[in-house]
């Protein structure tokens, strides 16, 4: 309750500091007309190029949109394996289940300090990775590597690995511990007990979350197009600058379609895992 | 092969509470013993002593001739792999198959890589072994089913199968029938006793129900408030001591009938 009150107070203070004025939501003539025009195209996305006098060999708009959608999926898909792998490694390390089980079962001596230290180190690394947003990573990597697909893929995988690690660690620690405890009691090593007794309980949630992050990666990959990568964002930016709002909506609907498909897919996978 | 147990003036206390006080107990290799007594009498603590999950505050616990407090981590793991525990709450992994749960009982005698392989893709030979164990406990047909799809009774048998796959030399059962209806309780106790006899392993089982202990065990040990109150064959038990076992501390009425 007190926390909510504090948050509300902080919110009001911040709004005052920023001189937020609700009246600005209704901008003067030009801005408002632009907004109306943009949203009015939501009902009639472009099916063909809005530009006139294009070279005759220009591919049709929908073909371009489909190709950009495929590129977006490819960029996101290329980023996920590395981030999942790194996220799993850091997530295992950052979770406390693998070392507290051993400690609770009578583990002693200097080796019992190893667990907390590794765990804290993994958590720190995961925080560092995700404290820099993928767009900032993209700016850094563009400067370092240039406009290569690798820059976009690395920019996506690094912060995603950090987020996955944090959430994986929490899911592992929240899974029931009784089975791992029983296996340790039956002579299994801490790592064996963790892999056979603790991890399987967290697996369905972890897979569903990885799929959700894939959905996030699709959106991020699309936005990375603003930097020049050939994903949906590239076309959105180009059409927007030319005031071809119908085309912008075509690309936005393409992105929506991708997200819906992945959402449906992850739902199906999840249902299969838990039932 | 079976393990013997030797408790020498064992006291266990944690955070000021004494769970066991000056307990002396000998269990011969291959003997079957029922531990009875009201809740909080120290039955669970006594069982935890026998696989090194709890250590005595004073006194000495020897299992199979080895003093548990003196064992290093590796030797303790070896000993634990020889002592199987069936818990009241089973402690299975519900979203894994029966085969995987039973196989995990064998982790203690497997190296890391071979255990990893048998969890991910068990060899046909391993599955045959598991199927054999499941048939022994009467549920051979559920080999590839997920544990969370099974009935409560089947799950309990999976937990027993996992304990058997450990190939133990001593079987401990902590209130295995506390949350089971009376008819099934009798079946489960009978099954555990039969398995222990067939394999020639030591069996120590804690029970609430004196009648089950009388029916299936040649020796009953009664605990109350952390002390051994009676110890002997069921038909030689002193009725007065039995009555005292389940009497409330303030001389109130009997909580559990005999």
Give a yes or no: residue A260 inside a domain: yes
Contact B107 A192 (CB under 8 A): yes
Give a yes or no: residue A29 inside a domain: no
More reliable by pLDDT, B249 or A158: A158
Per the prediction, chain B carries an average pLDDT of 90
Mean pLDDT of A69-86: 95
Give a yes or no: residue A231 inside a domain: yes
Residue with token string 């050939």: A230
Give a yes or no: residue A69 inside a domain: yes
Using the Cβ of B117 and the Cβ atoms of chain A, whether some distance falls under 8 Å is answered with no
Give a yes or no: residue A188 inside a domain: yes
- Render B56-84 in DSSP notation, one character per residue: -SEEEEEETTEEGGG--HHHHHHHHHHEE
Give a yes or no: residue A22 inside a domain: no
Question: Which residues lie below 8 Å from residue A171, measured CB to CB, with a gap of 6+?
Answer: A202, A205, A206, A209
- Do the Cβ atoms of A233 and A273 come closer than 8 Å? no
Dihedral Cα A115, A120, A124, A125, nearest 10 deg: 0
Q: What is the CATH number of the domain that holds A124?
A: 1.10.3720.10
pLDDT tens for each residue of B173-197: 999 988 788 888 999 999 999 999 9
Give a yes or no: residue A2 inside a domain: no
Using the Cβ of B55 and the Cβ atoms of chain A, whether some distance falls under 8 Å is answered with yes
Supply the range of the domain harboring residue A113: 61-274
Give a yes or no: residue A1 inside a domain: no
The structural domains of chain B, ordered by start, are 5-245 (3.40.50.300)
Mean pLDDT of B64-78: 90
Q: Which of A196, A207, A272, A273 to mutate to test the interface with B (most CBs of B within 10 A)?
A: A196
Chains A, B: CB contacts under 8 A, how many? 82
Nearest CA in chain B to A105: B53
B39-43, B47-51, B233-237, B250-254 — which is least confidently predicted? B250-254
Q: In what order do the strands lie in the sheet with B227-232?
A: B83-87, B170-174, B202-207, B32-36, B219-224, B227-232
pLDDT tens for each residue of A120-176: 999 999 999 999 999 999 999 999 999 999 999 999 999 999 999 999 999 999 999
pLDDT tens for each residue of A259-271: 899 889 888 887 8
Cα–Cα–Cα angle for A165, A167, A172, nearest 5°? 90
Contact B94 A201 (CB under 8 A): yes
B80 vs chain A: nearest CA distance in angstroms?
Answer: 5
Q: How many domains does chain A have?
A: 1
Entry pTM: 0.82
Give residue B251's pLDDT. Answer: 47
Contacts of A182 in chain B (CB under 8 A): 85, 87, 91
């Amino acid at each position: 309750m007190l926390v909510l009150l504090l948050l509300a107070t902080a919110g009001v203070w911040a709004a005052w500091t920023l001189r937020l004025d609700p009246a600005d939501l209704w901008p003067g003539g030009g801005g408002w007309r632009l907004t109306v025009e943009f949203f009015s195209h939501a009902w009639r996305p472009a099916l063909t190029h809005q530009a006139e006098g294009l070279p005759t060999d220009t591919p049709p708009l929908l073909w371009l949109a489909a190709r950009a959608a495929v590129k977006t999926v490819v960029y996101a898909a290329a980023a996920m394996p590395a981030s999942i792998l790194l996220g799993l490694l850091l997530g295992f390390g950052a979770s406390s289940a693998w070392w507290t089980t051993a400690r609770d079962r009578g583990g002693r001596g200097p080796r019992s300090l190893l667990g907390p230290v590794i765990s804290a180190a993994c958590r720190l690394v995961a925080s560092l990775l995700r404290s820099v947003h993928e767009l900032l990573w993209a700016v850094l990597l563009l400067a370092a590597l240039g406009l290569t697909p690798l820059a976009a893929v690395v920019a996506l995988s690094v912060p995603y690995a950090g987020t996955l690690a944090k959430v994986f660690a929490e899911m592992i620690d929240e899974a029931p511990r009784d089975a791992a405890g029983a296996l340790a009691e039956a002579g299994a090593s801490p790592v064996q007990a963790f892999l056979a007794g603790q991890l399987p309980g967290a697996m369905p949630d972890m897979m569903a979350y990885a799929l959700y992050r894939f959905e996030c990666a699709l959106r991020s990959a699309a936005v990375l197009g603003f930097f020049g990568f050939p994903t949906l964002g590239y076309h959105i930016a180009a059409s927007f600058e030319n005031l071809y709002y119908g085309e912008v909506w075509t690309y936005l609907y393409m992105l929506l379609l991708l997200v819906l498909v992945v959402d449906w897919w992850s739902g199906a996978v999840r249902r299969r895992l838990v039932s | 092969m079976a393990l013997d147990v030797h408790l020498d003036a064992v006291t266990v206390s944690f955070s000021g509470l004494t769970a066991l006080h000056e307990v002396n107990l000998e269990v011969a290799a291959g003997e079957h013993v029922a531990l009875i007594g009201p809740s909080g009498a120290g039955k669970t603590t006594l069982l935890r002593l026998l696989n090194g999950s709890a250590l005595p505050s004073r006194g000495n616990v020897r299992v199979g001739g080895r003093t548990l407090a003196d064992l290093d981590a590796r030797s303790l793991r070896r000993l634990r792999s020889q002592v199987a525990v069936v818990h009241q709450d089973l402690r299975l992994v519900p979203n894994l198959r029966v085969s995987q749960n039973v196989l995990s009982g064998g982790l203690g005698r497997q190296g890391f890589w071979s255990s990893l392989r048998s969890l991910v893709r068990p060899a046909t030979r391993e599955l045959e072994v598991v199927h054999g164990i499941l048939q022994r406990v009467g549920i051979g047909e559920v080999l590839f089913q997920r544990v969370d799809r099974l009935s409560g009774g089947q799950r309990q048998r999976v937990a027993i199968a996992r304990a058997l796959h450990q190939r133990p030399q001593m079987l401990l059962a902590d209130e295995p029938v506390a949350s089971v209806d009376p008819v099934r309780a009798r079946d489960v106790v009978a099954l555990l006793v039969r398995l222990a006899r067939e394999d020639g392993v030591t069996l120590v089982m804690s029970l609430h129900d004196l009648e089950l202990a009388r029916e299936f065990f040649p020796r009953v040990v009664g605990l109350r408030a952390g002390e051994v109150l009676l110890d002997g064959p069921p038909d030689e038990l002193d009725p007065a001591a039995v009555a005292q076992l389940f009497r409330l501390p303030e001389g109130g009425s009997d909580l559990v009938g005999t």
